[in-house]
A and B are shown apart, each in its own frame.
Chain A
Amino acid sequence: MAKIKTPEDSPTVGLFVTCLVDLIRPSVGFAAVKLLEDADCNVEVPLAQTCCGQPAYNSGDKADARELALNTVAAFEGYDYVVAPSGSCAGMLSHHYPELLGDNPDTAARARAFADKAYELVSFLVDVRGMKEVDAEYMGQVTYHDSCAGLRELGIKDQPRKLLASVQGLKLDEMEEAEICCGFGGTFCIKYPDISNAIVEKKTANITASKTDCLLAGDLGCLMNMAGKLSREGRQMEVRHVAEVLAGMTDEPAIGTKGGDS
């Protein structure tokens, strides 16, 4: 669906922080704010947000998922855009809300309107705000994992690579099978931990084989899964959300490390 570009020079963006960023890695949220402000957006963070409801939705708990979705829709009414630093959550907002709330004409219309203004962070910066480069520096070789929902639901592939190419000192080396699932799958990794492990083992083997120092991706869930596995395997690999590098905010210790431990 073609999204309408608003004419204003400085649209007001409601940041959908995502529950994982909120709880585990707020620095990704601040990186997102910086990038959005660099793209001439006014950023606000509605207090009434928690989680998009995806865990309930994918567990078959439609009633709770609906309630959470309606809360989220209500929290972001009045903003020009809703932007999330996660392909998975953004996919939920823009693809699954209309389905989840489609059975009642009132909620269907609200969900549609909401979905039409909901974006994943990096694709929003590039596709909607026309961002071509970032003002950031990162000395090192990185590899990039394409998270599934971002890639296949939202078509996010070139946008992060385009912006990463503008980071001074950064060299991107693609790993094998960058487009293949890391085995996180939300609650999947808890329900079927051994299968999830077999999948992430293949992913960490590909990451390690890439001979880079740093792994980036756009979804914190996948990043925690891969970082957790890499650290259990004793690998020295810096793992970060792509927004941190694009915003030039890499002072915080990498995921799963303390300062100086990466």
Chain B
Amino acid sequence: MNTAQSRQFVLDAIRGALDIKSDDTVRKATVQKRLKAHPSNLVPEHAKSSGDANLELFIEKLEGQSASVSRAVSTSDIPEIVAAYLRENNLPAEFRTGSDELFERIPWETAPTLTRHQGRGQGSDAVTMSRARTAAAETGTLFLTSGAENPTTLNFLPDTHIMVISRKDILGSYEDAWNALRQVYGPRTLPRAVNLVSGPSRTADIEQIIVMGAHGPRRLHVIIVG
């Protein structure tokens, strides 16, 4: 069977099984309507929180999944928070970021011990830093999008991953977060990768005992700005 035949075979088998008659306009319209309107299903009540309650929920959920969280009043606090975090965890004062404009705005020179590298993640990276595009407090989940600003490899290769997110980008539900991304990327379009991250990497594959740092970062630190 060639490619086109295989495709036809499967589609015909589906239509046969569903007993589809030649006039298919209703089904087609139903599908188009759903794709265009992408109606929301039930959103849990707790995901509809806002303001301080929403922020508290976000932090509680993240910490519950073994991430650590700190708050920055403004971007100018970030260098000192990063330097302190790395010092406290006995980590090298060196890290890698992408080209996100946020990282360009941060006055790194206020923490002169820090060295920032730029580019995609390397197997040898100890610490990397990314900016999360949005987040859902519902489960304490950050949404990272691929691209030169925040290369995907930075999210998975290092031992320690630091994420920065603006307070205003922390939303309630997954629905809110996807709608925010639709605003950026347009309807029915996503970047190559959207990584939803809710804590450091872990496994329970040996005797159901949870161990951090299976393949991805052992530590996740989230800095909330604003």
Direct A–B touching in the complex (beta carbon < 8 Å)? no
